Chains A and B, each alone.
Chain A
Amino acid sequence: MHFGLKKKLFVATVALGFAMAIPAAGIAGDTIKLGVAGAQSGDLASYGLPTVKAAELVVEQYNAKGGINGNKVELLIEDDVCKPEVATNTATKLVTDGVDVVLGHICSGATKAALPIYKEAGVIVMSPSATAVDLTKSGDYSNFFRTIAPDDAQAEAMVDFTIGTLGAKKIAVIHDKGDYGKGLAEIAEGLVKASGKAEVALFEGVTPGAVDYTAIVQKIKRTGADAVIFGGYHPEASKIVSMMKKKRMDIPFVSDDGVKDDTFIKVAGDNAEGVYASGPQDNSANPVAIAAIEAHKKAYNEDPGAFFENAYSAALALLNAIEKAGTTDSAAVVKALQTETVATPVGNIHFDAKGDAVGVGFVMYVVKDGKYVVVE
């Protein structure tokens, strides 16, 4: 099996080499060069290779209808193994090859290392998967865009919902002491304080696996909190909501995508009713997403891998912006990215001033009759 994969990769590489060589030789100088950077080998290759396939499908689609404004699109594919030190080389190589825009990188660390090089060269970069908050929010990388919601967007969605929709004034923020849960809870705590509309009544971590959560539930009750925001996974969440029901506490429980899982409903049973959880929006009914997945199955005879939809969206957004701008000049393309809405597998998106996709993000779900349904 290992040999088979290697052989396939080899064939693919050779085929790609030919595919790139022919148009490059034919209409040299007139192509639009789309760089694809990310992990294509090593232990994180499974996150990077779907991006290459997405780019191939989108480029094929554009070239089939005659390219962009008469220019064919050419792919330049480079591997960064998700390592920051390799990513700088990758970026330099792509810039030297005269790349116009880059789809990638995959990992936040590698992306951060590569961005200054692209910025210097005036190359626009769009990642399908780098979620580190400061890549966009710091404002340092005006050339960076992404089609995935950053880590803090979830906390923001949770806090906005709790304060805005539920009208909570005193919020208990509870987490499970883990990287994910605590990180989310800390951002949520900051957002609640910054909002000025509600106060943080309690900020505490529970011990995962502890036999009993009665004491923390009693404490939440004593603080008089009118809502709970929880960061963590479903085993702790189901224990806490069950204990809250037993202690006759009827305040909203708002949680994250670690809880937006059917196992939570199965384990918590009736106690799960009315629990809120945020999760990525459902793209399964989106016609663009359906078409993209169909195309992938037809071309590669398998289901797409991680971040395929985000990568497909990024490739569409980049090429669409170039088409609308009518040039590859970065200032014009940035303007087009921010103003032109494009239909992609992750929805109809454009980008905000900092580079995050508007329209991609988290929506709130609520458990109703044993199922998660989107809160209207």
Chain B
Amino acid sequence: MDYFIELFFGGLTRGSIYALIALGYTMVYGIIGLINFAHGEIYMIGAFTSFIIATVLSIYGFPLLSIVIIAGLAAAVWSSAYGFTVEKLAYRPLRKAPRLAPLISAIGMSIFLQNYVLLAQTSDFLPFPELIPDFPFMEPVAHIVGSSDLVILVTTALVMIGLTFLIKFTKIGKAMRATAQDKTMAVLVGINVDRVISATFVIGSALAAIGGMLIASHIGQINFYIGFIAGIKAFTAAVLGGIGSIPGAVLGSLVLGLTESFATGYVSSDYEDVFAFSLLVLILIFKPSGLLGKAETKKV
């Protein structure tokens, strides 16, 4: 039973890691129906930004808490700028093009950003500073969760609550929902659709950047390629939960994280991905819209 609880919490942490990235995929898809394959790279850029800022600040002897806050804010702002620019350069000109064009553009952007960071930084793995100190919990808690697991879990929960609030109760949230429902009608009732889309990219990118910082601190290393696998897994989680749905992205991520954790724990880590993607296929066969997704209705 202890082992089950350990795996369960391990899976929750892993799921929360996916969730922080998956939210960006699902928001963008919800608004403009585009799968932003460059999102994993935005996450990677967030990790790199916080790495650089945290390293510089620690040289100047800033206290840890202020390093975390400043690095987190800087990463969020910088990644948002990237998200905003990517949308403007690579997706906006193609908004009226056939659906395949922005998809290819997104893949191109992803490869471009990877190589850009590869050239600007290095291809080496870099040691990421431990921003969340390893707090010595009492046994048996120490075996189950560490301080960084807790921070990731709590952050994901807060982010989800905050986002739900933003979308349900704020003006920009209303505009987002309207744009998602019908772009043309939104324009007709006076919503600046371009601004709403940009805001979506900015929010999604900021979340990915925070995720990048927390995850890099949890794992302890970064390189230019980390966005690819994390992006693929988070995208899978978003589809699993029903792409376009925010609670769906979180649920899908947790289900994926738990599946992988239990597959490793009770079967073999050789089959971790086999189980994860088999689950995806099964869900898509029996509930094509994902766990919490709404079946798409054709507009007449």
Contacts and interface: CB of A to CB of B under 8 A. Distances in A.
A219 interface: yes
B134 A238 contact: no
Classify the secondary structure of A's interface with B.
helix
Contacts of B221: 235, 238-239, 267
Interface string A198-221: 000000111101111011101100
A271 B261 CA distance: 23
Contacts of B225: 209
B226 A209 contact: yes
Interface in A236-251: 238-239, 242, 246-248
B234 to A, nearest CB: 9
B229 A206 contact: no
B17 interface: yes
Interface residues of A, number: 29
Interface in B254-276: 260-261, 264-265, 268-270, 272-273
Contacts of A238: 125, 220-221
Contacts of A215: 7, 10-11, 14, 260-261, 264-265, 269, 272
A211 B128 CA distance: 14
B142 A207 contact: no
Question: In which size bucket is the chain B interface?
Answer: 35 or more
B101 interface: no
B80 to A, nearest CB: 22
With most chain A CB atoms within 10 A of its CB, the pick from B3, B148, B219 is: B219
Of A205, A210, A238, A239, most buried by chain B (CB within 10 Å of CB) is A210
A218 B7 contact: yes
Contacts of A248: 142-143
B268 A214 contact: no
Given A204-B270, A218-B6, A268 B220 contact: yes
B127 A268 contact: yes
Nearest to A233: B125
B39 interface: no
Given A234-B125, A239-B221, A263-B124, A214 B215 contact: no
B270 A205 contact: yes
Contact of A210 (B126, B134, B148, B229): B229
B143 A177 contact: no
Given A212-B13, A222-B3, A246-B146, A205 B220 contact: no
A212 to B, nearest CB: 5
A240 B230 CA distance: 18
A266 interface: yes
Contacts of A263: 124-125
Contacts of A234: 125
Interface string A237-279: 0110010001110000000000000010011110100000000
A235 B229 contact: no
Nearest to A248: B142
Interface in B1-50: 3, 6-7, 10-11, 13-14, 17-18
Most buried by A among B228, B264, B268: B264
A216 B142 contact: no
A220 to B, nearest CB: 10
Given A204-B270, A267-B221, A268-B220, A209 B125 contact: no
Contact of B264 (A219, A268, A269): A219
A218 B10 contact: yes
B166 to A, nearest CB: 26
Contacts of A210: 229, 272
A372 B183 CA distance: 61
Given A238-B125, A239-B221, A211 B269 contact: no
A263 to B, nearest CB: 6
Contacts of A216: 264, 269
Contact of A207 (B148, B215, B261, B273): B273
Nearest to B142: A248
B265 A218 contact: yes
Contact of B17 (A211, A222, A266, A271): A211
Contact of A239 (B6, B219, B228, B260): B219
A205 B218 CA distance: 21
Contacts of B269: 204-207, 215-216, 219
Given A210-B229, A248-B143, A219 B265 contact: yes
B265 A269 contact: no
A176 to B, nearest CB: 11
A267 B11 CA distance: 25
Interface in B219-249: 219-221, 223, 225-226, 228-230, 233
B127 to A, nearest CB: 5
Nearest to A247: B143
B138 to A, nearest CB: 12
A209 B273 CA distance: 12
A205 B272 CA distance: 10
A227 to B, nearest CB: 18
A266 B14 contact: no
Interface of A: 177, 204-207, 209-212, 214-216, 218-219, 222, 234-235, 238-239, 242, 246-248, 263, 266-269, 271
Given A214-B10, A215-B11, A215-B269, 8 more contacts: A207-B273, A211-B233, A212-B14, A212-B218, A216-B269, A218-B7, A234-B125, A263-B125
Interface of B: 3, 6-7, 10-11, 13-14, 17-18, 124-127, 134, 142-143, 146, 148, 215, 218-221, 223, 225-226, 228-230, 233, 260-261, 264-265, 268-270, 272-273
6 nearest A-B residue pairs (beta carbon): A215-B264, A214-B10, A209-B229, A212-B14, A215-B261, A267-B127
